[in-house]
Amino acid sequence: MIAASFTDPNFALSFWTAITFGLLIIVLGKFAWGPILQTIEQREKTIADAIEGAKKASAEAEKAAGETKAALEKARQDAAELSRRSQAEVAAAKTELMAAAKKESEELLAQARKTIEEERRVAVAELKKQAVELAIAAAGKLVQAQMDAGKQKALVEEYLAQVGKPRA
Chain segment 6-39, per-residue pLDDT in tens: 667 788 888 999 999 999 999 888 888 888 888 8
Interatomic CA distance for residues 84 and 81, integer angstroms: 5
- 143, with CB counted inside 10 A (0-12, 13-18, 19+), is middle
Interatomic CA distance for residues 128 and 106, integer angstroms: 32
pTM for the full predicted model: 0.38
Q: Using one digit for the tens of pLDDT, what is the confidence trace for 99-158?
A: 999 999 999 999 999 999 999 999 888 887 777 776 676 677 666 656 667 776 777 777
What's the one-letter identity of residue 133?
Answer: E
Q: Where are the domains of the chain?
A: 17-164
Cβ atoms of 147 and 155 within 8 Å: the answer is: yes
Interatomic CA distance for residues 90 and 84, integer angstroms: 10
Confidence of residue 1 (pLDDT cuts 50, 70, 90): very low
Cα angle 27, 29, 34 (rounded to 5 degrees) comes to 125
What's the one-letter identity of residue 164?
Answer: G
Cβ atoms of 143 and 152 within 8 Å: the answer is: yes
